[in-house]
Structure formats: structure tokens, C-alpha cells
Amino acid sequence: MKVLFLTGSHPRHMYIAKKLYDNQYLDGLLIEKRENFVPQPPEGLCDLDKNNFIRHFKDREESEAKFFGKITDVIFNDSVRKIKVNKEQLNSDKVKKWICDFNPDVVLSYGIHKLSNEFLSILPAYSFNIHGGLSPWFRGNITLFWPFYFLKPNWAGMTVHYLTERIDGGDIIHHSVPKLFKGDGVHDVACRAVIQVAEDLIAILKLIEEGKKLKGVPQGTLGKLFISSDWKPQHLRLIYNTFNNDIVDRFLDGELGYDEPKLVRAF
């Protein structure tokens, strides 16, 4: 069974690539070069929002370094066929030819930009997207942040769904939700979610290898599609100034109530 992983270049993306590789489930690897991992604060912010912005992305860098370490594609030996692209090259004829020549049995995507319909048409039946959020409730962008903003940290998780032209909208085969621990901040939970979905992916790939049919669950119309412009640096005031990034502690102490998502499980 040949597995192709289409992914970004940030630490969380490389962590899943390494997990697949360590379990003999990585035969091909496409890496899309992503934006700078630690962005600069936009112009015109007041000191409060500027400091929150800097703290937020510095904390993200530190959390991902703590949980994932420094992983580059040089660790993968020559048995893994690799190609590196930028956003503009992702849907190019060159890349599509590379994939057709590779002829994968299973394709996983995580952390890349939207694939064209022509690109999707050349992929095998078992092609899945790994979405950093619980669909259908949190689709789109920055969807591991919004559960914290809505004081529902137990809704921060990942979705494995069939890859379609709909953004994070394909039939769901599995939800991954991490265990919450006292002292976890927003980025710690996001990292734990990536680690959990990496473990779950190995189990899902084993099921496919054993011949099990994976039936997806349609998403329906619940939830919201979050776009990048929904998020503003001012949203960080709630996370850091109101709660000092202790939303998980408050939740575990029972201060924020409890509402549990109805999860889809492949196993």
C-alpha cells in the first residue's frame, strides 16, 4: 500500500510526516512551503494588542518546539519520494504529473492550500484531509483557536474526512480529541491534538491495509466556516487578559460548564 502525504512545512506538519514514516506508512511526500511561522504584528495595534500578538505566536513557537522538536525532511531516506512546492506551484501540471507517476493507493493532506478540482480528480478513492478543527462545528481557518474563545476547550480537536472540493466538508471518518491537562494553554492543546490524530492515523491506515471499508458520515449544515478575516488580534484579550491562558484549568475545575461534541470514530 503506497501512501502519499501532502503537507505544509511547519513543525506540526513534519511531526505527522515522521509519525507516518516511523510506522512504514510514508512512501511519497509533497511539502508546500508555508508562511513564516512567527508573524510580525500588524501596524496600528495598541500596546495591549501588540503584546498579546507577540505573546501568542511566541508561545506557539515554544509549544511546538516542546512537543514536536525540530524535524526536517532530511530524516526521510531515499525510499520516500519527495517534492517541494510553493503555493503557486501546488496545482501545477508538473505536480499533477508527479502524482500520477507515483500512483498512490492512499493520499493524506494536511496544512496545504486548496486543491483544484482537476487535482482532486487524479487522486485515489482513499484520499483524506486532516483538518485542524472539529468539523462540522469548526471548519475553515484558525479552528483550534475558536473553541478556546467560546470557552469550550474540549471541542479543540482534529477531523479526518474524505478529500473533496468543499472546504473541510467531506464525509467524516474520524474525530481526534486530546486529553486535557492542568496547566495546558491554547497551543499546548493544539499540539496534543496533532499528536492524537497522528496516533489515530496509524490505526486508520492499518484498517485500510486490512481491507476494511471506511464509511464516511455526511457533515450536514451544523457549525460554521471560519475565514481568516474572522480572527483579529483583539480576540486575544479574552485568552490572555481575561483568563491569562488558563481556560483549560477553569474548564477542568468546572467553572465553564460542560458541553460534549458528538464525535465520529473509525475504531
Mean pLDDT of 59-79: 91
pLDDT of 84 over the 90 cut? yes
Would you say 136 and 220 are in contact if contact means Cβ atoms under 8 Å apart? yes
Question: pLDDT tens digit string along 17-57?
Answer: 999 999 999 999 999 998 877 899 999 999 999 999 999 99
Q: With bands split at pLDDT 50, 70 and 90, how would you rate the model's confidence at 72?
A: confident
Domain boundaries, the chain: 3-252
Whether residue 89 has pLDDT greater than 90: yes
pLDDT in tens, 128-141: 999 999 999 999 99
Strand pairing class (126-131; 106-110):
parallel
- Cis, bond preceding 136 (omega within 30 deg of 0): yes
pLDDT at 8: 96
Residue 77: pLDDT above 90?
no
Assigned C-alpha cell, 70: 525540530
pLDDT band for 203, please (50, 70, 90 cuts).
very high
Rounded CA-CA distance 136/223 in Å is 5
Say yes or no to pLDDT of 166 above 90. no
What local confidence, expressed as pLDDT, does residue 127 receive? Answer: 98
pLDDT band at 221 (very low <50, low <70, confident <90, very high): confident
- Torsion sign over Cα 102, 107, 111, 112: positive
Local structure of 5: helix, strand or coil:
strand
**CATH number 3.40.50.12230 given to 3-252:** yes
CA angle, corner 196, sides to 194 and 201, nearest 5? 95
**How much is the pTM?**
0.94
Mean pLDDT of the chain: 96
The answer to whether residue 156 scores a pLDDT higher than 90 is: yes
Question: Position 48: which residue type?
Answer: L
